[in-house]
Amino acid sequence: MAKLYFRHGTMDSAKTLNLLAVAHNYRSQGKKVILLKPRLDNRFGADQIASRAGLSAQADILVDVDTVLDPAQFEGYHCVLVDEAQFLSPGLVEQLRVLTLRPGLPVICYGLRTDFRTRLFPGSRRLLELADSIEEVKVTCQFCNRKAMFNLRMQNGQGVADGAQIELGGNERYAPVCCVHYDERVGLAAVSEGLHVAKKHAAASNA
């Protein structure tokens, strides 16, 4: 049986470069791959899958939260490669899982595990629940040589712990950091307290 893979890493861990290399390897062997990405990720153009190293490719399929995939359009292909998988809806992840059964293709998803508050994205959570293989794409902290674990969102050079979960940006907005430097710039306790306060406000407004 073909497998569902989740290859996760922080910002700047070369996930997209890895995806493009895998696509190249398949194609150099005369095999066909489908490249898929969420439509909302338009940082490099609506249908572009681009790495910070300068390599890019055109996505074959753009998906929205409510997209229904037709298994028939995947017939004759050898692999499905998914960029920015954290932005997928749980339902789309489940559809990708089905593609490993019918028509039986390996599906390799690349994306962030957690957001700037260290919380799982819904798509990433479902991938962790359903994937056959979970692999970490590693990179060092921007401020030291420890392994980066978290994505630090920055504003005017300072770490921030508030805002919408999804906010597109690159190196000017995010940095891969270890736990020590995340705590120094945002504070793990502050993030937890902020979430607690937000939940209290939401409960009060619904009362």
Cα(19)–Cα(109) distance, rounded to whole angstroms? 9
State the distance between the two ends of the chain, measured CA to CA, in whole angstroms.
Answer: 49
All residues at 6 or more sequence positions from 1 whose CB lies less than 8 Å from its CB, including other chains: 100, 101, 104
Q: Got the DSSP string for 29-71?
A: TT--EEEEEETT--TT-TTEEE-TTS-EEE-SEEE-TT----G
From the candidates 75, 84, 94, 193, which is the catalytic residue? 84
Running DSSP on this structure, what letter comes out for residue 154? E
d(CA 155, CA 178) in angstroms, rounded, equals 18
Q: Is residue 136 flagged as an active site residue?
A: no
Alpha helices in 76-144 (DSSP H): 90-99, 122-130
Q: Do 86 and 124 form a contact (C-beta atoms < 8 A)?
A: yes
Catalytic positions are: 84
